[in-house]
Structures are given as structure tokens and as C-alpha cells.
């Protein structure tokens, strides 16, 4: 296992460098810059701003300065939020997205997986049809529709839960359900098809002939094998959920990291865009490494050196 982790770290470093480099140059190709504003500033002022942020240097020089910083763990500065470093911004936003993402992931697993198992074991019945309808709705309804619906019903109409904001544990409930809706539905569909597939296998039939109770067979034999594709999906899904969602954070006014994926680009906040991209890439690599380790635990036939 340690070999796998070392190998992943060795691959991760050049990969992160490549991502940072590509993002750095692609951003410079975009029209518009961080100092373009509704009220155009005089050229003397623009010159001062460019000098302050080293943007008066050539592009290779800027790239060199940036790399020097990144190597030291400094992700740069924000051009929009003056005097704030990208490290500061991400350090205050990531824990919020992490909390919300973990809550949503937890909901998606505890609702989606059992729903899929129930649908698979009751295949062709009304319960299965209901599960399919629910999961189809969950996948096809965009989160801004689900969010607005939940706000209206539980926040405005019933007044049971807060409409928005990030003040207490109660404020996590609606956004977590909104964020979890898509992944829950996806996991339910995936679990259903994987369990149906596993239930048709010989070892399941053998276990049942031996007299093992049905529920036990499903959990011990069918589900364990059906978990492989689910775990595969959970890797990137975790990275997506814990880095936040632009839509959910915007409609619930949550100070997370998700909104920076969009606003940093529209503000041409170069270093912040690269910072968010690197964090996302890093979390994706970590999640995939954990998935590889889990493969081995679930199915010892899979060797982690693969």
C-alpha cells in the first residue's frame, strides 16, 4: 500500500505542475484582464497596478515568479480581493464546502445505496418503479430547481428550516439535501443495476440453495460485489462535493469554495483560478488513491500494484 501511495505522490507532482502551467497560460489567452473595470482607470494608475502585481513583466517572467511562489506553498494573491492571499481565501472557504460536501456525501450514500438495493430486490414491482421515478427526477432536475423548491416548501411555506445563510447546524440541512439530490439519484440507479447484476451470479444462487436468508445473501454476497462500481464513482464524486457547488452555495448564500470556480474566472482573478484548480486536482488524486485502496479491501483479488 505504501508503494502505491509513494507512486501516486510521484505522479501527482508533475501532474499538478502540468495543470498549473496549462491553467496559467490559458488564463492569459482569455480576453480581458483583472484591472478592466466599468470605470476605466487612467494609464498611469494601470501602470502602478501592473507593477505591483508583476504584470508589467514578460509572460515567462511572470510564470517563473508564480512557480517560485507555488513551490514554497504560496498560491499567490487575489487581484479582486485586495490584500488577501489565495491561501487565505481557500483556507476560509474550503472548510465550509468540506462540511457541506461531507454532509451531502453522507446523505447520498445512506439514501442512494439502500434505495438502489430495495429497487433491485423488488425488481419489476411498484416499489421498483417508484425508486426509478425518484432517481430519474433526482438526476434530471437541476439543483437550482430543487433548491428553490426546498426553500419555498420548508423555508417560506412551512417555516420549519432556515431559508438560507450559514449560522447553525439547521442551516446545513436544506443545502445538503439539495447538493445530495443528484448524487443520491445516481448512486441509487448504479446500485440497482449492480445489485441486479450480482444477484444473477452463480455464487448468489449457491448461497440461497444452501438456505441462507435472502437479506443476508443480498448484503453479504450481492452488495459486496456490487460495491466496486459504486466505490469507483464515489472517488471523483467526493472531490466534486467537498470542493463545493457554485449553484448551491449561491442560492443558499454559503461562503464556500464552489462559487470561486466561476467568479474567479469572470473576475480574471488569475492566481485564484489556478489555486482552486490545483485544490480540486489534489483532492481528486487523493480520492482516487483511496478508491484504489478500497478496491483491494473489498476484493482481495485486485492487487493494489495494479
Residues that bind another protein (CB under 8 A): 30-33, 36-45, 47-49, 51-52, 80-84, 89, 92-93, 148, 151, 155-156, 158-160, 162-166, 250-255, 259, 266-268
Are 93 and 255 within 8 A, CB to CB? yes
41 vs 215, beta carbon nearer another protein: 41
As measured in angstroms, the least distance from the Cβ of 73 to another protein is 18
When the beta carbons of 93 and 113 are compared against another protein, the nearer one is: 93
Other CB atoms within 10 Å distance of the CB of residue 279? 21
Determine the Cα–Cα distance for residues 80 and 161; give it in Å rounded to an integer: 34
Query: Closest approach of Cβ 274 to another protein, in Å?
Result: 17
Write down the least CB distance from residue 253 to another protein, Å: 4
Phi–psi pair at 11, nearest 5 degrees? -75, -35
Q: Which helix (H) or strand (E) holds 86?
A: helix 86-121
Closer CB to another protein, 90 or 287, in the complex: 90
CB of 37 to another protein, least distance (A): 7
Rounded-to-10 torsion of CA 209, 215, 220, 224: 120
Between residues 48 and 136, which has the closer beta carbon with respect to another protein? 48
Shortest Cβ distance from residue 294 to another protein (Å)? Answer: 34
CA separation, residue 59 to residues 18, 255, 262 (Å): 17, 33, 24
Which is closer to another protein, CB of 6 or CB of 153?
Answer: 153
Measured from the Cβ of residue 203, the count of other Cβ atoms closer than 10 Å reads 12
Amino acid at each position: 500500500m505504501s508503494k502505491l501511495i509513494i507512486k501516486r505522490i510521484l505522479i501527482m507532482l508533475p501532474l499538478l505542475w502540468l495543470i498549473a502551467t496549462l491553467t496559467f497560460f490559458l488564463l492569459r489567452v482569455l480576453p480581458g484582464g483583472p484591472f478592466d473595470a466599468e470605470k476605466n482607470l487612467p494609464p498611469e494608475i494601470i501602470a502602478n497596478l501592473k507593477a505591483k502585481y508583476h504584470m508589467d513583466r514578460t509572460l515567462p517572467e511572470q510564470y517563473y515568479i508564480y512557480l517560485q511562489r507555488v513551490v514554497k506553498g504560496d498560491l499567490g494573491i487575489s487581484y479582486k480581493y485586495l490584500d488577501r492571499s489565495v491561501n487565505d481565501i481557500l483556507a476560509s472557504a474550503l472548510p465550509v464546502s468540506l462540511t457541506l460536501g461531507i454532509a451531502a456525501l453522507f446523505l447520498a450514500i445512506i439514501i442512494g445505496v439502500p434505495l438502489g438495493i430495495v429497487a433491485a430486490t423488488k425488481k419489476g414491482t411498484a416499489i421498483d418503479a417508484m425508486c426509478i421515478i425518484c432517481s430519474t427526477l433526482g438526476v434530471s432536475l437541476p439543483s437550482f430547481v430543487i433548491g428553490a423548491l426546498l426553500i419555498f416548501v420548508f423555508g417560506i411555506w412551512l417555516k420549519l428550516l432556515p431559508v438560507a445563510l450559514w449560522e447553525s447546524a439547521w442551516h446545513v440541512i436544506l443545502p445538503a439535501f439539495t447538493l445530495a439530490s443528484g448524487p443520491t439519484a445516481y448512486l441509487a440507479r448504479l446500485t440497482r443495476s449492480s445489485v441486479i447484476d450480482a444477484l444473477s451470479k452463480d455464487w448468489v444462487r449457491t448461497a440461497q440453495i444452501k438456505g441462507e436468508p435472502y437479506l443476508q445473501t443480498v448484503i453479504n454476497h450481492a452488495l459486496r460485489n456490487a460495491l466496486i462500481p459504486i466505490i469507483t464513482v464515489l472517488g471523483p464524486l467526493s472531490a466534486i462535493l467537498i470542493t463545493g457547488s457554485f449553484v448551491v452555495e449561491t442560492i443558499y448564500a454559503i461562503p464556500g469554495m464552489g462559487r470561486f470556480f466561476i467568479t474567479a474566472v469572470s473576475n480574471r482573478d488569475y492566481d485564484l483560478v489556478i489555486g482552486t484548480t490545483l485544490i480540486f486536482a489534489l483532492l481528486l488524486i487523493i480520492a482516487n488513491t483511496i478508491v484504489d485502496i478500497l478496491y483491494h479491501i473489498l476484493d482481495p483479488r485486485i492487487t493494489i500494484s495494479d
